[in-house]
C-alpha cells in the first residue's frame, strides 16, 4: 500500500484522514457536502495508479462512496460497524469523527479491520428491488390491518375480504359513520395503489431471478420460490467468505443468543443482527415444512410438538440457510454472476 485513508460518513459532511506511506504526509479534514460530486472532486487530487486503500463503515451512504473509490481505480474496504465498535474498546476519551477515521486507518495498516462483503453492482440493484418490494408488502399489510380494525370498530360483520369485488359491494351497503366510510374509501384506494405497484415489481424480480444462476440453484430448495430465492441471494451474498454454514446463520441473525453463568442458562432470543429481508425469506420458505411432502416435515413435527410452530419454523429456517450457503459456495463465482437477460434484438416479434 502506498496510501491509506479512513472516511467517516454523515449526510452533511464526510470526515477523512489519509496517510501517504511514501512520504509520511498526513491529511485530515472534511468533505462538504456528503454527496457523490463532492467525493469525486476530492478523489481527483490523488494520482491515478496509486495503490490507495480507503476504509469506511458499512452504514447508510456507503454505496456511492465505494463506487467513486473504485471508479478511480483505488481499493475500498467496508468495515462492519458492530465489529469496529468492539475493536474500539471502552471509551476513555471523547469519541470524535477524526478518532473514528484514525481507528480505521490503524486497523487497516495492521490488517485487523473487520471487513464486510461489497456486493457487485447487479447484486446491489437486486437487493434494492427486493427490499423495495418487501417494504411495499409490509405497508400494504399495515393498511389491511388498519381497515379491518376500522370495520370492527364500526360493527361490520367479520370475514370480509377487501380484495374481492363482491365483498366491496357488500361493504358499500353496510351501515357506517361518515368518517368511517371515508376511511374505508381512502384505504381501499391505497390497497389498489399498492397492488398496481407490486404486480410489475414482483414480475421484474422474478424475471431477474430466473436469469440469475444463483437464484436458479436456490429454487431447488423445498419452499423456496423465485421471489424468496432472489431475496436470499441478494442478502446472503457470496458464501465463499464464510468458513462454515453456521457463519451464514449468524450473518442472517437467526442464531440464538445465549447467556450462561454458573450453570444457569435462560432461554435465548434471536440475535436479529442481520438483514431483516433475509430472515423473512428464510422463515417464509420454512413454513412450507408443515406440509407432509416437505423433506423436513418429520423434523418440523418433532420440534413443533416439543415447543411450538414458530420455533419449529425457525429451526427449519436455519437448516435452509445452511443448505443455501452450501449451494452458493459450490457454485463459486457463477453464483454471483450477472443475470443472463435476453437482448432486445432477440425478443420475439408480435404477430
**Three-class secondary structure of residue 115 per DSSP:** strand
Closest by alpha carbon to 313, among 235, 238, 234, 223?
Answer: 223
- pLDDT exceeds 50 at position 345: no
pLDDT at 220 (0 to 100): 92
Look at residue 348 in the predicted model and tell me its pLDDT. Answer: 45
Q: Is pTM, for the whole model, over 0.85?
A: yes
Across 8-17, 184-193, 256-265, least confident range: 256-265
**Mean pLDDT of the chain, nearest integer:** 91
Of the pLDDT bands very low, low, confident and very high (cuts 50, 70, 90), residue 256 is: confident
Note the pLDDT of residue 158.
82
- The single residue listed with the C-alpha cell 479491520 is 113
pLDDT digits (tens, 9 = 90+) for 23-69: 999 999 999 999 999 999 999 999 989 999 999 999 999 999 999 99
Answer positive or negative: Cα dihedral of 339, 345, 346, 349. Answer: positive
Of 102-116, 250-264, 298-312, minimum mean pLDDT range: 250-264
Q: Do residues 66 and 13 lie in contact, with contact meaning Cβ atoms separated by under 8 Å? A: no
350 falls in which pLDDT band (50, 70, 90)? very low
> Is the pLDDT confidence value at 267 over 80?
no
User: What pLDDT, in 10s, does the model give residues 82-131?
Assistant: 889 888 877 666 789 999 999 999 999 999 999 999 999 999 999 999 99
Name, in order, each residue with C-beta under 8 angstroms of 56's C-beta and a sequence gap of 6 or more: 6, 7, 8, 9, 62, 65, 66, 76, 77, 78, 79, 104
pLDDT above 70 for 136:
yes
Q: Does residue 347 carry a pLDDT above 50?
A: no
Contact of 304 with 312, CB cutoff 8 Å: yes
HSE of 318, CA atoms in CB hemisphere, 13 A = 18
Amino acid at each position: 500500500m502506498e496510501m491509506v485513508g479512513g472516511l467517516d460518513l454523515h449526510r452533511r459532511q464526510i470526515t477523512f484522514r489519509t496517510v501517504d506511506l511514501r512520504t509520511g504526509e498526513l491529511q485530515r479534514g472534511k468533505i462538504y457536502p456528503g454527496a457523490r460530486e463532492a467525493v469525486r472532486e476530492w478523489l481527483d487530487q490523488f494520482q491515478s495508479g496509486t495503490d490507495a486503500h480507503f476504509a469506511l463503515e458499512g452504514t447508510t451512504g456507503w454505496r456511492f462512496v465505494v463506487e467513486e473509490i473504485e471508479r478511480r481505480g483505488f481499493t475500498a474496504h467496508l468495515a462492519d460497524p458492530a465489529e469496529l465498535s468492539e475493536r474500539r474498546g471502552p471509551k476513555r476519551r471523547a469519541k470524535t469523527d477524526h478518532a473514528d477515521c484514525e481507528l480505521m486507518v490503524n486497523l487497516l495498516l495492521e490488517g485487523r479491520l473487520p471487513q464486510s462483503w461489497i456486493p457487485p453492482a447487479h447484486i446491489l440493484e437486486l437487493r434494492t428491488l427486493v427490499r423495495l418490494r418487501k417494504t411495499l408488502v409490509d405497508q400494504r399489510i399495515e393498511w389491511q390491518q388498519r381497515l379491518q380494525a376500522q370495520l370492527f370498530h364500526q360493527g361490520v360483520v367479520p370475514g370480509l375480504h377487501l380484495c374481492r369485488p363482491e365483498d366491496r359491494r357488500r361493504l358499500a351497503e353496510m351501515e357506517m359513520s361518515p368518517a368511517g366510510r371515508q376511511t374505508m374509501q381512502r384505504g381501499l384506494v391505497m390497497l389498489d395503489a399498492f397492488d398496481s405497484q407490486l404486480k410489475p415489481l414482483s414480475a421484474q424480480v422474478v424475471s431477474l431471478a430466473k436469469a440469475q444462476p444463483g437464484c436458479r440453484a436456490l429454487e431447488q430448495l423445498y419452499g423456496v420460490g423465485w421471489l424468496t430465492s432472489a431475496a436470499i441471494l441478494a442478502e446472503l451474498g457470496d458464501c465463499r467468505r464464510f468458513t462454515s454454514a453456521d457463519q451464514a446463520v449468524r450473518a442472517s441473525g437467526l442464531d440464538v443468543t445465549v447467556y450462561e453463568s454458573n450453570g444457569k442458562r435462560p432461554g435465548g432470543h434471536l440475535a436479529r443482527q442481520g438483514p431483516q429481508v433475509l430472515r423473512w425469506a428464510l422463515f417464509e420458505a420454512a413454513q412450507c415444512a408443515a406440509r407432509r411432502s416437505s423433506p423436513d416435515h418429520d423434523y418440523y413435527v418433532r420440534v413443533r410438538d416439543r415447543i411450538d410452530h414458530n420455533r419449529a419454523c425457525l429451526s427449519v429456517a436455519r437448516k435452509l440457510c445452511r443448505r443455501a450457503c452450501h449451494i452458493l459456495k459450490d457454485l463459486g463465482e457463477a453464483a454471483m454472476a450477472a443475470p443472463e437477460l435476453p437482448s432486445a434484438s432477440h425478443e420475439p416479434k408480435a404477430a
